[in-house]
Amino acid sequence: MIRFFFYTTCISLFFPNNLSAQSIPLTENSFAKTYSFVHPVFNRIQNTAGLDSFFYKLYKLKATGQGVVSVVHIGDSHIQADYLSGVVRNDLQQYFGNAGRGLVFPYQLAQSNAPQDISSSSNTKWTFNRVAHPEIPVAYGISGYGIKTDTDGASVSFSLQPDGSGIQSFNRLRFFFDSSQANLWLLQTENIAVPFVIKKDSSRLLYNEVLLDSAASSFSLVSLPSGNTKEFYGVLLENSNSGILYHTIGVNGARYDHYNKADLFWKQLTALNADLFIISLGTNEAQGTSFNEGSFRKEVSLFIQKLKIASPGASVLITTAADSYKRRKLNTVLRQINTTLVNYADENNIPLWDLYRVTNGHGSAYSWSGRGLMNKDRIHFTAEGYRIQGGLLFSALAKGYNSFISNY
């Protein structure tokens, strides 16, 4: 009752207009018509009250056309390619506004796969690492990745390619470098006639911010001579618009416990000012030789605690993992992991989206594979398979949002 009264009062004070007119249109039944193993009837977020503060921020953004709402989607290889998260990002931005591409990383320099709209290159080879390999002595930061070099004059060239909404641009950059004040970088964009130096600010330990006079879609960095090791962890790209910033942090092979050990990642994560964390992990835990439920629950609990420290006001949404194979056999461990996630979320009143159930649960990888929606490894999905899942996640969020505004 208190929660109902609070949000009713807030919305009536600020936005007295008709709430139902702001509902997000939904067309998710098209999935079920095409794929019989997709069940939209289950495509709802459980414990949705935990998203009320996030939905309220979305409504305020839509009603006023002002502000930025930050979504941080953390996951594994299912997220790194950005097919799934890209659908959610584009659909949210189409409805609520596009505040920029968000956090990105030059994956090609770490010899890894990148989202289709990200291109990077360099004049030298970089040493690299990712959060899934804590045994390698190369630091990784906010993106779950890190690259480093001892070469003076090393460059990082980066560009955003057009996406479904057209040409992407930015005029505000937040660079996540190493903490050495001796390392300086020259920045060049297509609109800067003379490169200028990015100086380290001792008062700003998390990132170095640059504001451009005009929008750009690419940039180049060149390290100035210092004799020190240079490290690069990612860059946040924004424009001057109000809307959604959707940050994708996906790391091939990552698990809950990998992230929990990544101290620099958690330190830098605060810079994203998250309003919602979406957590999509579990597939790699299910590829292990055994599963200990107690240990897994401790890692999930620690992960959630760290999220709350990084952004105390943020909502958290856990997602289960879609079905996959393990050594070419049905994966019973994944079923245990997803059941544990559902139970943990229910016990702690944490919002959860049960992708496993929506996509037909245990054994459903056979159906997805048979329709050409999974790769040959039967662990990863095709681009189309991921886009279907992204559409389902957006629909689940839209249902929750529509219900929220219709109840107040």
Distance CA 96, CA 137 (A): 41
CB atoms within 10 A of CB 358: 26
What pLDDT does residue 341 have?
A: 98
pTM of this structure: 0.94
Residue 177, Cβ density class (10 Å: 0-12 exposed, 13-18 middle, ≥19 buried): buried
Helix (H, G, I), strand (E, B) or coil at 67: coil
What pLDDT does residue 399 have?
A: 96
282 phi-psi bin (left φ>0, alpha ψ -120 to 50, beta other): left
pLDDT in tens, the chain (408 residues): 444 444 444 544 444 444 444 899 987 777 777 898 999 999 999 999 999 999 999 999 999 999 999 999 999 999 999 999 999 999 999 999 999 999 999 999 999 999 999 999 999 999 999 999 999 999 999 999 999 999 999 999 999 998 877 789 999 999 999 988 889 999 999 888 768 788 776 656 789 999 999 999 999 999 999 989 999 999 999 999 999 999 999 999 999 999 999 999 999 999 999 999 999 999 999 998 789 999 999 999 999 999 999 999 999 999 999 999 998 888 999 999 999 999 999 999 999 999 999 999 999 999 999 999 999 999 999 999 999 999 999 999 999 999 999 987
Q: Are 41 and 313 in contact (CB under 8 A)?
A: no
* CATH 2.60.120.260 residue spans of the chain: 103-240
**Cα distance from N-terminal residue to C-terminal residue, the chain:** 12
The residue among 384, 390, 380, 324 whose CA lies nearest residue 353 is 390
What pLDDT does residue 198 have?
A: 87
Residue 5, Cβ density class (10 Å: 0-12 exposed, 13-18 middle, ≥19 buried): exposed
Q: Which CATH fold topology does 103-240 show?
A: Jelly Rolls (2.60.120)
* CATH 3.40.50.1110 residue spans of the chain: 25-99+242-408
The angle that helices 332-347 and 293-310 make with each other, rounded to 10 degrees, is: 50
Which CATH code of 3.40.50.2300, 3.40.50.970, 3.40.50.1110, 3.30.540.10 fits the domain covering 25-99+242-408?
Answer: 3.40.50.1110
